[in-house]
Structure 1
Amino acid sequence: MHFISPTKGTMSWDEVVDDLLVYVVEEPEFTYKIIIGTDSQVREETHFVTAVVVHRVGKGARYYYKRRVYDNIKSLRQRIFMEAATSLETASKLAQDLAEKGHTELNLEIHLDIGQNGQTKEMIRDIVGMITGSGFDAKIKPYSCGASTVADKYTK
């Protein structure tokens, strides 16, 4: 898995994990949130962007993103479930890699591009249940900046 850092360019998955940990360890007195979110946009193909954000609460953040392109996936329901599954897969891998490096104290949140308004409101229970049933916190709009702001920026 290759990700892009706006400041460091293309990075391997291992480089992302190491860079994230350097960011956390350099100022350990702060609280950190690790956020994973995926958004998609339909064009000729469907573009999915997954963002990994490490938020130093009260003092900025660092993020990395990965773009995947698939043949047209026009069904909104299928796209939303694929966004959630992609974020869940990324969060699971990150949690495992952080635990292997001795950092089980970092909590991961999965941000979902769904909310009480619009066409996705009927999917909230199913999608949030899938995420929380896997052991992660789930955030929906308007509290899901990882998907609705960071990932969204790179789907355009």
Structure 2
Amino acid sequence: MNFVNPTKGRMDINKMFQDIMEFVEEDRNSNYKLMVGTDSQPGKIICFVTAIIIYREGNGARYYYRKFSNRRIPSFKQRIFMEANYSIELANQLLEKLSKTGRKDLNIEIHLDVGENGKTKEIIKEVVGMVTGCGFEAQVKPDSYGASKVADKYTKSMTNII
């Protein structure tokens, strides 16, 4: 699984996690949020992008993303649940790495591309329930910028799929 940081380029999950930890260690007095969000763009195939953001509250952030494709998904609802599932899978991997470092202060938020407006409003409770049932905090639009802004930015083009 390869990730891209716009400044540092391609990296595997271990290098990405190391970079996140180095960013956190630069300023131990700050508060941090670790966010994971996935968005998708339908077409002949579906482009999925999962974004990971480490946000130093009030003082910058770094983000990473991975881009991959999947065959067409039969329904819109199924695609939204797949987005959530991809985010949960990656969040679990990050949580495992965090537990090995002893960093229990970095909670992981899952950013969902659902909101009160549009067709996703009917499935908000189901998707949020899926995320919270897995032990993560869920954010929805307009607060789910990890999915609705960062990941969304990279779903628009199928070029350079990782």
Output the TM-score relative to the length of structure 1.
0.98
User: Could you tell me which residue of structure 2 aligns to residue 31 of structure 1?
Assistant: 31
Match of 1:116 in 2: 116
Alignment check: 8 A CA contact 1:42 1:74 kept: no
Identity score, percent: 51
**Structure 1 equivalent of residue 62 of structure 2:** 62
CA distance in 2, matches of 1:71, 1:85: 16
**Unaligned 5+ residue runs, structure 1?**
none
Superposed counterparts of 1:41-52, under 5 Å: 41-52=41-52
Q: CA offset at residue 105 of structure 1?
A: 1.1
Alignment of 1:113-152 (within 5 A): 113-152=113-152
- Alignment partner of 1:73 is 2:73: yes
- AA matched with 2:12: S
CA RMSD between the two structures: 0.7
What CA deviation, in whole Å up to 9, does each residue of 1:33-87 have, x standing for no partner? 0000000001221000000000011011100000110112252101100000000
Paired residue type of 1:108: I
What residue number does 2:20 align with? 20
Partner residue, 1:88: 88
Q: Aligned partners of 1:134, 1:123: CA distance in 2, in Å?
A: 17
Which range moved further: 96-105 or 45-54? 96-105
Tell me the equivalent position of 2:11.
Answer: 11
Q: Which moved more, 1:67-76 or 1:42-51?
A: 67-76
